Chains A and B, each alone.
Chain A
Amino acid sequence: MSEFREKVRAWLAENVPGDEELANAKRFQAALYDAGLAGITWPKEFGGQGLTSAEQQVFDQESARYDLPNSVFRIGMGMCGPTILDLGTPEQKARYIPPLLRGDEIWCQLFSEPGAGSDVASLQTRAVRDGDEWVVNGQKVWTTVAHLADFGALLARTDPDVPKHQGLTMFLIDMHDAAVTVRPLKDMTGRAPFNEVYFENLRLPADAVLGQVGQGWLAAVTMLGHERVSIGGFVRKRHDPLAHANLAETARRYGRDADPVVRAELAKLYAAERALALFNVRLRQEAEAGSPPGARGSVAKLAGAQLQQQAVAVAGLIAGPRATAWEPGDAAGEELALAINQTPSSSIAGGTDQIQRTIIGDRILGLPREPVVDRDVPFRELRVGTQRSA
């Protein structure tokens, strides 16, 4: 019977039409890697190029002219990979970094839960030690590309008897394990780029821990720092319908380019786009000179979300009724609607605008923190999210 199962499995894997987009992404990333253009600033010993941000900048500028088909690797490249480089063991780096850079393996980030969004540290997914292993049970949500991911960085509670930030541990997990169930979740655009993920007695070896047991919050903060820089520093691609250049082109196409209000709003948008892009260049140049961005990534994240909203407003000004209804199959109409519908996510995903402002206030400006009621309370005594904890 098991032989038959193997046969069925192998045949299906080989013959069911795959996701062409995904295959393209992998081919492209592998070609980048072979050309010596993947992981430009990552260490050479793990397959990176060991170059500087100047080279990265050149690559970003040049590649911004194209719609690179590799966005499925963004979480791995922008968040998980850098965090593994920061905190991983030599074995973990050697195992995970090269295939990540080659595009062989896709990563997702398993932080958010139904009861733990902005307050990530109140998460309830549990990892319980059993001999040398850990056993994970719980649920994650809004997990981008989990349905395509090979591995995930999982934040789980390993000690409910200490305050919430102290009882967390980060694990590197295999998303193909039978104990992991991924259910696509539709977002407000009607597409399903993210998922719910369930763990039912997922067993993890001791070396699945990234960083130290009980130090998961540190690992999470490290990763979230990379995330903000990655999201905020994301260069607007040439094809992005909300990029200034494309909105200016749309204005020409719709005959709106002589309207003084449109011209003024496009000019404002251009200045805001430049301000953010140049801020990101500054962050990189400072990092190169030895001062890492730290919480300043939150400025990029916040400003990026604001820019998105500004661009949507300008798009609406230009398009008028064309933003409200269009002929079936009209690509421009679909694109604009998608941009309008995606905008709210930029102020929520990766930490809300409000969270970013709090981070800037607390960590950069040194303003006094809000009184915290749960800092010294063991997690098991807390009320979290909308439910009473176990």
Chain B
Amino acid sequence: MQLVLDTEQQQLRSTVRKLLADHNNVRSVVDGDGAYDAVLWRHLAELGLTGLVVPEELGGAGAGHVERAVVLEELGRALAPVPFFASAVLAADALAALGDTEVLPALAAGEKIGALAVSPGWGPAPVSATERDGGWVLDGHAPFVISGDVAEVFVIYTADGWFVAEDARRMPLTTLDPTRGQAKLEFAASPARRLDTADPAAVLEEVRDLASVALAAEQVGGIGKVLETTVEYAKMRVQFGRAVGSYQAVKHACADLYSTSERAESLLRHAAWAADHDREALPLAAASTQAFTGPAYFAAAASGLQLHGGIGYTWEHDAHLYYKRAKSCELLFGGHDAQLARLAGRLDGVS
């Protein structure tokens, strides 16, 4: 296994970091000037990042999950308000696993934004499918659809299998995390295309494993940024005549942040490597990384906020954005309990 990034992967990181430094405008979205940063999204598409792991014949870049993790880390560091996780991860992975050739190229090219509708606990969405006039229609509501407020293509997992639809009523939800929208989707005799597959549930599992790795990457990026800004602040802020970082209470909390960051990154590197090179190891690696990184990111963000003192609690400071993103990430996919139960189930198979 390879847990250290090679030169090209490091270059990819610098490229994306530079792009985000120049173009990321998270505050415009947070302050309500738009649902996502369309300019940044276009830049990501132009660099081929929206279709990073999509095979070349389907319009993607044909790169690996290690590379996609690098990109997601940077997006997570910057809290980039773009629908990358929903479109380039969840929807694209599902469509790729289902062998779709109709809408995946548009998603890969970033021309359309996709979203995935499942139940909050990652079961079938409460949407029914009916065959009518040789086609299918969907009825029902899908709650908590990530980036469902800005998506144009919906990939839906139902008790009747997988569907893709473009006609859904989007009802944006107010979100804890202001950098990433969610919506309730309403389907009312909405035409849909069925995506046939022998084992729909197996596709869902695979998509969830890959999503766990992708989310972990975003979280690891967030932890890294929290660590960096907190340490910077601890060096600069003086109280009682000394930089606060010289006090053990603060220094040791920073050391714990570092330790968390290093361990979370280690789990991520392995899970991403497994996604590319060892699919048998992926289910356990993916579940492990979420079991650790979900609560680790929230603890890091909360600690980072605390170490900034009163300044950290103000709207102007970004600390609360990381806090909110971290809690939201932790509660995805059924929440931390569900993540642990999933890992426990996989460990049953191991020993």
A364 with B258: in contact, given A260-B341, A266-B344, A275-B263 (CB under 8 Å)? yes
Q: For residue B243, which residue of chain A has the nearest CB?
A: A368
The residue that A264 contacts in the complex, of B258, B269, B341, with Cβ under 8 A, is: B341
Which of A196-204, A326-334, A350-358 binds B?
A350-358
The residue that B254 contacts in the complex, of A260, A365, A371, with Cβ under 8 A, is: A365
B255 close to A356 (CB less than 8 A): yes
Q: For residue B241, which residue of chain A has the nearest CB?
A: A371
The residue that A366 contacts in the complex, of B235, B263, B265, with Cβ under 8 A, is: B235
B234 close to A367 (CB less than 8 A): yes
The residue that B343 contacts in the complex, of A267, A282, A362, A368, with Cβ under 8 A, is: A267
Q: Is the CB of A183 closer than 8 A to any CB of chain B?
A: no
Q: Is the CB of A360 closer than 8 A to any CB of chain B?
A: yes
Q: Flag A244-257 by CB within 8 Å of B: 1 or 0 each.
A: 01001100000000
Chain B residues within 8 Å of A263, by CB: 340-341, 344
Q: Considering the complex, which residues of chain B in the window 253-291 have a beta carbon less than 8 Å from any beta carbon of chain A?
A: 254-256, 258-259, 262-267, 269-270, 287-289, 291
Q: Is the CB of A268 closer than 8 A to any CB of chain B?
A: yes
Chain B residues within 8 Å of A362, by CB: 251
Which of A8-16, A17-25, A165-173, A296-304 binds B?
A296-304
The residue that A270 contacts in the complex, of B2, B231, B252, B288, with Cβ under 8 A, is: B288
Q: Considering the complex, which residues of chain A in the window 288-335 have a beta carbon less than 8 Å from any beta carbon of chain B?
A: 289, 296, 299, 302-303
Distance A289 CA – B6 CA, assembled complex (angstroms): 10
B255 close to A368 (CB less than 8 A): no
Distance A360 CA – B259 CA, assembled complex (angstroms): 9
A153 to chain B, nearest CB (A): 28
Greatest chain A CB density within 10 A among B3, B242, B254, B344 is at B344
Q: Is the CB of A285 closer than 8 A to any CB of chain B?
A: yes
Q: For the complex, would chain B's binding face be called helix, strand, loop or mixed by DSSP majority? A: helix
Distance A285 CA – B231 CA, assembled complex (angstroms): 26
A357 to chain B, nearest CB (A): 4
Q: Is the CB of B292 closer than 8 A to any CB of chain A?
A: yes
B247 to chain A, nearest CB (A): 8
A245 with B351: in contact, given A357-B251, A368-B243 (CB under 8 Å)? yes
Q: Is the CB of B246 closer than 8 A to any CB of chain A?
A: yes
The residue that A357 contacts in the complex, of B4, B245, B255, with Cβ under 8 A, is: B255
B258 to chain A, nearest CB (A): 6
B1 close to A281 (CB less than 8 A): yes
A371 to chain B, nearest CB (A): 7
Q: Is the CB of A276 closer than 8 A to any CB of chain B?
A: yes
B184 to chain A, nearest CB (A): 30
For chain B, the count of residues having a C-beta within 8 Å of the partner chain is 41
Q: Considering the complex, which residues of chain A in the window 75-104 have a beta carbon less than 8 Å from any beta carbon of chain B?
A: none
Q: For residue B289, which residue of chain A has the nearest CB?
A: A271
Q: Flag B99-140 by CB within 8 Å of A: 1 or 0 each.
A: 000000000000000000000000000000000000000000
The residue that B255 contacts in the complex, of A264, A279, A282, A361, with Cβ under 8 A, is: A361
The residue that A274 contacts in the complex, of B242, B255, B267, with Cβ under 8 A, is: B267
Q: Is the CB of A5 closer than 8 A to any CB of chain B?
A: no
B262 close to A296 (CB less than 8 A): yes
Q: Is the CB of A128 closer than 8 A to any CB of chain B?
A: no
A279 close to B263 (CB less than 8 A): yes
Q: Considering the complex, which residues of chain B in the window 35-71 have a beta carbon less than 8 Å from any beta carbon of chain A?
A: none
Q: Is the CB of A286 closer than 8 A to any CB of chain B?
A: yes
B340 close to A354 (CB less than 8 A): no
Distance A319 CA – B247 CA, assembled complex (angstroms): 40
Chain A residues within 8 Å of B246, by CB: 367-371
A275 close to B255 (CB less than 8 A): no
A367 close to B258 (CB less than 8 A): no
The residue that B288 contacts in the complex, of A274, A299, A365, with Cβ under 8 A, is: A274
The A-B contact count (CB < 8 A) is 131
A365 with B344: in contact, given A275-B292, A282-B269 (CB under 8 Å)? no
Distance A198 CA – B270 CA, assembled complex (angstroms): 48
B16 to chain A, nearest CB (A): 21
The residue that B264 contacts in the complex, of A275, A289, A354, A371, with Cβ under 8 A, is: A275
Distance A302 CA – B4 CA, assembled complex (angstroms): 22
Q: Is the CB of B159 closer than 8 A to any CB of chain A?
A: no
Q: Is the CB of B12 closer than 8 A to any CB of chain A?
A: no
Distance A364 CA – B264 CA, assembled complex (angstroms): 17
A278 close to B259 (CB less than 8 A): no
The residue that B242 contacts in the complex, of A278, A289, A358, A371, with Cβ under 8 A, is: A371
The residue that A278 contacts in the complex, of B245, B258, B266, with Cβ under 8 A, is: B266
Chain B residues within 8 Å of A354, by CB: 248, 252
A267 close to B291 (CB less than 8 A): yes
Q: Is the CB of B202 closer than 8 A to any CB of chain A?
A: no
B220 to chain A, nearest CB (A): 11
A279 with B266: in contact, given A248-B347, A367-B246, A368-B245 (CB under 8 Å)? yes
B330 to chain A, nearest CB (A): 14
B266 close to A281 (CB less than 8 A): yes
Chain B residues within 8 Å of A356, by CB: 255
Q: Is the CB of B196 closer than 8 A to any CB of chain A?
A: no
A365 with B258: in contact, given A267-B291, A267-B340, A281-B1 (CB under 8 Å)? yes
Can you list 22 A-B pairs, Cβ within 8 angstroms, ordered by A? A249-B351, A264-B341, A267-B340, A267-B344, A270-B291, A271-B289, A272-B263, A275-B267, A275-B288, A278-B269, A279-B263, A279-B266, A282-B3, A286-B4, A299-B258, A354-B252, A358-B252, A360-B255, A362-B251, A365-B245, A365-B254, A367-B235
Interchain residue pairs A-B with the least CB separation, the first 5: A361-B251, A367-B245, A360-B255, A275-B263, A357-B255
Contacts A278-B270, A279-B262, A281-B1 known; 15 new A-B pairs at CB < 8 A:
A264-B341, A264-B344, A267-B344, A271-B288, A271-B289, A275-B263, A278-B266, A278-B269, A282-B266, A358-B251, A361-B254, A366-B231, A367-B234, A367-B243, A370-B248
